[in-house]
Every structure is written in C-alpha cells, then in structure tokens.
C-alpha cells in the first residue's frame, strides 16, 4: 500500500495561516512556492527502508490554542523530570502544541544581543536576520516532498541568535510538548552563532499519543561562523502514534565547530538525517547518536559529515539497541570533497540486538575525493557478549541486572555528552523504560 499525498491544504489556506501570524511578505511567498512544489517532488528515499506506506502527509494541521505556563508546577509529572529541581526557568522555552507557552532569557544575555524566542516572533521582529538563513544554505525547500511540505506548513519552532564574540556559559533549553494526540508538528529550529561566539542548545520532543496517529516533520538548521562553537543536544521521545521525519543540518565555517549529541528515542516509525557541512579550514564536527528500538517500529538514521575545507575533522559515533521485532538502519557517511586536503574522517556504528526478531544494520561509508587525507571506520551488529554476562554474573549479579549494565555501558559514550544533567537523567530513564 502506498499513501497518497493529496493534501487538504490549498493556497487560500496557506495565505490565511500566514496572515493570521502577521508574517512578512517573504515568508508568505516562501510558503506559497513550497506548496506548489509538493506534488512535483519525490519522497525521501532512505537506504534499505521503504516508507511508501508510512503516513507522513495526512494530518491535522490547524493548531489549537494552548494555555501559557507561569510555573514548572503546572506541568505534568513526566515533564517535570526534564528540568533540574532548582531551575530558575531562565534560558528556557516551552512550546505546548504550537503555542509558545513559556519563554525566558537571562537579562544579561538580552543585554548582549542574544535572541532566544519562538520562530514566529523571530520572523516578525527579526525578519531580515531570519530570512538570511531560513531554508537557504542548510536545508533546501526543494530537497524533497517533505521539506517542501515543512516549508509550506511550518507551525512551530525556535530561533537562537548569538552575536559576535558572545560566550553563553549556561545551556539554552527548549521543550516541545505535543499535548494533543492528533496535533501534527512541523517544527523549525534555527541556530545562528556569529564569529567567535559559543552556545549550547538542548531540546526535548515529547508526546503521549500511543494510539492516535499524527505526524512530526522537523527541520533544524545550525550555522557556526568563523571560530564559533555550537553544542547541540536533543532527546526525541515521540510516542508510538507519531510517524517522524527529522532533518537536522549544520554549516561550519573556518575554525568553527558543531557537535551533536542526539538521543533518538521515538516509539513510532522514524527517518532521521543529520548532516554537517564543514566549509571552512579547520572546521570540525563530532556527531554522536543513540537509539533504542522496540515493538515493531522501523527506524532509519543517517549521520553524514561532508568536508570541504582543508584540515577539517569529522567524527561520527552511533549506538543502537534493538528489542522485540524492531528494525533499525544506521548509515554513517564521511565525505571528503576535492580540495579538502589534510582532512580526517572517522566513524563508528554499533548495534546491539536483544531478541531473535530484532534487526539492525550498520553501514559505514567513506567517500573520498582527495589524496592527502586520513580516514577510518568501524561497524558491528551483534548480541550481548556472553563473556561480559558471565563475568558480571560471576560477581553475584542477576542476569537482568548484568544485561542492564552492559546496555548502559554500550550507550554511555553518547548519553554522557548531553550537557544538561536533568535531560541526561531523563534519557537514561527513557532507555530503562524502553529496554525493560
């Protein structure tokens, strides 16, 4: 069965949606042109994963006005776990469905020109700045049918801007909470770090729609200018009813660095791309991702670092644990372009299977168009090492506890990289819930 892309949205709907949000002309035009492209573009074609029968285009788009939040005490208990108990709610954005329910930024950062706000406010109040970066050099509107659909119907997100030479010591945190089970999310995150600046940004996606079906179509664009550093952490935790497409891309200029630490914990079918372009000399990226699959879900994760500049460094680390009848593909692609001399590309993908019916595939790919480079890769797919189990059980541990320790040790290289302790703890709890 193939799901048709007959959209219940026309140009009148798009223009009314844009007008209701007081968007500038360029954004209304972008939406209109994107909608025109949708039917002529192909769906993404993830390697070894057939998505033609996935529902990624039939969804409820109209947002429902959600209440704002004055205190963390108003949040459900499962959401409170994402915040430190002593959090003062500074440098925090909470989106409830498509409503900006809470937004705070330390006055010191505001005085330095830092922007941390919802995407619609940014489009209105910082129009020229957003237009410069929005779906131009990182994610293209016409990349595929789903990126065009995203551009036409984008209904949430956040904008982060860090001026030249501003160093942000504390992480900025965004929580995207899909409270309504049937509400689709087409979220856009745009992070811009000017020359010599640094920022750590962490986001959480959360839903509870175990049976109601909906769609998440997520796009992230990160720009690190000369000598800037961006650390980007995420925990995606959509429930089983959400089918998810994720497209996260970064562009790093000279001496810039973009590091990714991604906890991909969705319970529904998921396709995820994480691609970084190292454009300038000495640019670097460290892309770490971890996933746990269970039930009958199908997942496809691609991490790619394309190295254009000289003496660039690209490192990909992927770890996955599969149970039940879950199936997951990990693609790690290092591409050194012509002219990228002295570049180094390393990648490692490992999948641990906990059941007979689970399936994992780790595909290391090196594409090199230059001679004077270094590169290496490693990949493995297997089950829990019986020698490790024997050693732990010989020390008095029960089998379940021994297996638990092995799994956490297996995933630790990624989990440990998340910069906010409460988010790191929550990821560990999600892993525990999914594995046991």
- 91 contact partners, CB below 8 Å, separation of at least 6: 104, 105, 106, 109, 116, 170, 171, 172, 173
% of the chain exceeding 90 in pLDDT: 70
- CA–CA gap between residue 138 and residue 279 (Å, rounded): 12
- 147 contact partners, CB below 8 Å, separation of at least 6: 135, 139, 140, 141, 219, 247
- CA–CA gap between residue 50 and residue 240 (Å, rounded): 18
Paired residues of 284 in beta bridges: 257, 313
| Mean pLDDT taken over the chain | 91
Per-residue pLDDT tens digits for 355-384? 889 999 999 999 999 999 999 998 889 888
Strands (DSSP E) contained in 265-422 are 270-278, 284-293, 298-307, 313-322, 327-336, 344-353, 359-368, 374-383
The least confident of 23-27, 80-84, 379-383 is 80-84
pTM: 0.94
- CA–CA gap between residue 102 and residue 114 (Å, rounded): 17
* More reliable by pLDDT, 98 or 308: 308
Whole-number pLDDT of residue 3: 44
Whole-number pLDDT of residue 279: 98
């Amino acid at each position: 069965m193939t799901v048709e892309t007959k959209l219940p949205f026309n140009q009148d709907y798009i223009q009314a949606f844009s007008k209701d949000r007081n968007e500038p002309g360029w954004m209304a035009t972008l939406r209109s042109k994107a909608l025109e492209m949708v039917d002529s573009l192909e769906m993404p074609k993830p390697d070894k994963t057939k998505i033609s029968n996935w529902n990624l285009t039939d969804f409820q788009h109209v947002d429902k006005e959600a209440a704002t939040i004055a205190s963390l005490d108003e949040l459900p208990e499962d959401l409170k776990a994402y915040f430190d108990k002593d959090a003062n709610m500074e440098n925090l954005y909470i989106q409830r469905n498509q409503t900006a329910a809470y937004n705070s930024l330390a006055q010191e950062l505001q005085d330095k020109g830092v922007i941390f706000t919802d995407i619609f406010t940014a489009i209105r109040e910082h129009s020229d700045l957003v237009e410069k970066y929005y779906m131009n050099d990182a994610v293209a509107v016409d990349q595929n049918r789903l990126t065009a659909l995203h551009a036409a119907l984008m209904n949430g997100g956040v904008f982060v801007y860090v001026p030249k030479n501003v160093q942000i010591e504390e992480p900025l945190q965004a929580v995207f909470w899909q409270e309504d089970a049937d509400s689709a999310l087409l979220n856009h995150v745009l992070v811009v770090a000017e020359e010599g600046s640094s920022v750590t940004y962490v986001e959480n996606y959360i839903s509870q729609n175990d049976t109601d079906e909906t769609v998440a179509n997520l796009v992230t664009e990160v720009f690190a200018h000369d000598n800037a550093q961006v650390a980007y952490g995420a925990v995606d935790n959509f429930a089983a009813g959400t089918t998810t497409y994720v497209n996260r891309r970064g562009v790093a200029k000279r001496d810039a660095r973009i590091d990714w630490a991604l906890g991909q914990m969705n319970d529904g079918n998921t396709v995820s791309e994480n691609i970084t372009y190292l454009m300038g000399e000495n640019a670097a990226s460290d892309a770490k991702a971890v996933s746990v699959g269970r039930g009958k879900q199908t997942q496809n994760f691609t991490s790619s670092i394309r190295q254009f500049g000289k003496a660039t460094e690209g490192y990909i680390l992927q770890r996955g644990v599969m149970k039940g009848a879950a199936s997951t593909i990990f693609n790690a692609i290092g591409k050194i372009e012509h002219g990228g001399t002295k570049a180094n590309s390393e990648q490692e993908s490992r999948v641990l299977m906990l059941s007979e019916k689970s399936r994992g595939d780790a595909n290391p790919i090196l594409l090199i168009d230059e001679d004077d480079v270094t590169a290496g890769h490693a990949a493995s797919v297997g089950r829990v090492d019986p020698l490790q189990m024997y050693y732990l059980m010989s020390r008095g541990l029960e089998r379940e506890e021994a297996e638990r320790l092995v799994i956490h040790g297996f995933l630790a290289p990624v989990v440990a990289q998340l910069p906010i302790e409460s988010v790191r703890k929550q990821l560990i709890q999600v892993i525990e819930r999914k594995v046991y």
